[in-house]
Amino acid sequence: MRLIARYAKDLGNDFEVVDVYDKKVIKEKIPKDNPTIKTLAKKYPCAIWFERKMSDDFGIIIKDAFDKRPLVHQERFPRNIHPMVKSFTDKEIGYAEYVPYRYEAISGEGVFQVSVGPIHAGIIEPGHFHFSQAGEGMLHQEVRHFYKYRAIEKMVEGKTLLEAKAIIERISGNESIAYQIALRDIVSMACGSRITPNKRKRDAFLLELERVIHHLTDLGFIANDAGFGAALAYGSKLSEDARRKMKELTGSRFGFGAVFSQSSILDEESLKRYLDKLYDDINFFQEWITDIPSLWDRFDTTGILDKKNALKYCSVGVVARASGVVNDRRSDKFYLDNGFKAVNEVSGDVGARFKVRINEVKNSIEMMRNFLYGETLPPLDITTPKDGEYMSFTESSLGELFMSIDIKDGVIERFFARDPSFVNWQALHLMMRADIIADFPLINKSCDLSYAGNDL
């Protein structure tokens, strides 16, 4: 059984801890005057971030936890403030005394520490990577993020679904369509809005276009991090063309507002020509890259995540599928009827993740041809939700996205989203142990994990 998420709710006199698995959901109430609960991390290592976050957000104590360090609270965040409890309404908080963060580190003769970030030379968002090194060899790596702590879960409380929509769809720019579709499914359940077959096709087309955009970007950058800059130029050109196609179809390069707005008739012939050209381009790219042995010397056996650890850390998306774990939320009748084929590799290295991305682009193109439709679609009704608890899943470009929204008195009582990166970041350190620090950018990029989606 796979753990998907663990999160808490403030029910007034009690907290409720919700454990979401792939086969069931378990809820447990705990009193606020003794907010303790047993850890799941001994069986599910990825639970540790969920539990540390619950401790920071709600003050819940995790019994028997092997790691009780703050997660989203940085060094000067007041330890007695738990901002997700309903009683916390302050707009500002003061700085507390600086408390150094205790990194996981290996010590010994000849062992030294290397810190990378949170400010980087590129344009990525803040994220910290702490290495224990013996020469060039990586002995251990710890990922530490949450430097922004945007408080999105708190921000949308008390808002209507319509008011929260623009916030939710901007949680992570490389998964905007995926977040919109997850919200769409919750709106459909809460508001009784019917998702017509053509509406489902149109949204699926945009989701696959979003997937193509990011896979193409990654394919270029992965090769670039192995020293082959020509692939970055080619991949970036294809990605930019796809990004412009997204703007042409939705009015936004990121597809903001696309799922809930009225959509016009697609120019099917033009899109078919675009998809045919893209299919030829990705085939050329695959043949070109495959015929460069020195590149595959860097890809193969680098950054291995084996199937056992992929399962142990509940990995999702390309990271899981490259390690032989066939886990894809698109494995349903709708997608299968429209050409979906699960793509996976077994070696779990950079090369495997590269291959999965190429073949997923080709499969996305095949599905997009089948998702074309020829009518104007009205906007989805989002105005009259019924109170209740709603959950949804979407296979984003990064993997399985989980969303939960509780509606009370017509507004959001609790919002929670588990981005695929939240679990995949926790498995990253397992990929480093047999490699040198110069391989870190290559391994990291081959996973393409989101900073923004991870740090709500």
Q: How confident is the model at residue 153 (pLDDT cuts 50, 70, 90)?
A: very high
Parallel, antiparallel, or unpaired for β 137-144 and 388-396? Answer: unpaired
Give pLDDT, residue 22.
Answer: 95
Q: Are residues 332 and 366 in the same domain?
A: yes
The domain total for the chain is 2
Q: How confident is the model at residue 271 (pLDDT cuts 50, 70, 90)?
A: very high
Domain extent, residue 89, equals 3-144
Q: Are residues 109 and 207 in the same domain?
A: no
Give pLDDT, residue 172.
Answer: 94
**66 is a domain residue:** yes
Q: Are residues 379 and 251 in the same domain?
A: yes
Phi, psi (5° rounding) for residue 204? -65, -35
Sequence-distant (≥ 6) Cβ neighbours of residue 112 within 8 angstroms: 132, 133
Which has the closest alpha carbon to 259: 339, 340, 187? Answer: 187
Give pLDDT, residue 263.
Answer: 77
**149 is a domain residue:** no
Q: Are residues 268 and 335 in the same domain?
A: yes
- 31, β-bridge pairs: 14
User: Is residue 164 within 8 Å of 156, Cβ to Cβ?
Assistant: yes
Give pLDDT, residue 383.
Answer: 82
Q: Are residues 270 and 217 in the same domain?
A: yes
CB-side neighbour CA atoms (13 Å) of 285: 30
Residue 91 has pLDDT above 90, yes or no: no
Burial of 125 (0-12, 13-18, 19+ CB in 10 A): middle
**150 is a domain residue:** no
CATH code of 192's domain: 1.10.645.10
**Lookup result for tokens 């997204």:** 246
Give the three-state DSSP class for 113.
strand
Q: Which residue has the higher pLDDT, 362 or 196?
A: 362
Q: How confident is the model at residue 311 (pLDDT cuts 50, 70, 90)?
A: very high
% of residues, the chain, pLDDT over 90: 88
**356 is a domain residue:** yes
Give pLDDT, residue 382.
Answer: 83
**341 is a domain residue:** yes
CA distances from 182 to 230, 250, 390, 401 (A): 36, 18, 11, 8
pLDDT in tens, 385-427: 999 999 999 999 999 999 999 999 999 999 999 999 999 999 9
**306 is a domain residue:** yes
Give pLDDT, residue 122.
Answer: 74
Structure letter (DSSP) for residue 377: B
Q: Are residues 372 and 422 in the same domain?
A: yes
Give the three-state DSSP class for 456.
coil
Rounded-to-integer distance, Cα 427 and Cα 117, Å:
19
Sequence-distant (≥ 6) Cβ neighbours of residue 237 within 8 angstroms: none
Q: How confident is the model at residue 13 (pLDDT cuts 50, 70, 90)?
A: very high
Side chain identity at 128, as an amino acid letter? H
Q: Average pLDDT, whole number, for the chain?
A: 94
Q: Are residues 131 and 205 in the same domain?
A: no
Which of 105, 120, 144 is the last residue in one of the domains?
Answer: 144
| DSSP output for 222-273 | HHHHTT-HHHHHHHHHHHHHHHHHHHHHHSSTT-TTTTTS-BPPP-HHHHHH
**152 is a domain residue:** no
Q: What's the token pair of residue 266?
A: 């697609």
Side chain identity at 368, as an amino acid letter? M
Give pLDDT, residue 194.
Answer: 87
Q: What's the token pair of residue 117?
A: 């970030």
Q: Are residues 189 and 91 in the same domain?
A: no
User: Is residue 364 within 8 Å of 208, Cβ to Cβ?
Assistant: yes
**339 is a domain residue:** yes
User: Is residue 250 within 8 Å of 433, Cβ to Cβ?
Assistant: no
Q: Are residues 44 and 170 in the same domain?
A: no
Q: Are residues 67 and 133 in the same domain?
A: yes
Q: Are residues 229 and 354 in the same domain?
A: yes
Predicted TM-score (pTM) of this structure: 0.96
Q: How confident is the model at residue 376 (pLDDT cuts 50, 70, 90)?
A: confident
CA distances from 336 to 328, 333, 340 (A): 12, 5, 5
pLDDT in tens, 19-71: 999 999 999 999 999 999 999 999 999 999 999 999 999 999 999 999 999 99
Tell whether omega for the bond before 118 is within 30 degrees of 0, i.e. cis: yes
Q: Are residues 75 and 177 in the same domain?
A: no
pLDDT in tens, 313-361: 999 999 999 999 999 999 999 999 999 999 999 999 999 999 999 999 9
Sequence-distant (≥ 6) Cβ neighbours of residue 239 within 8 angstroms: 213, 214, 216, 217, 220
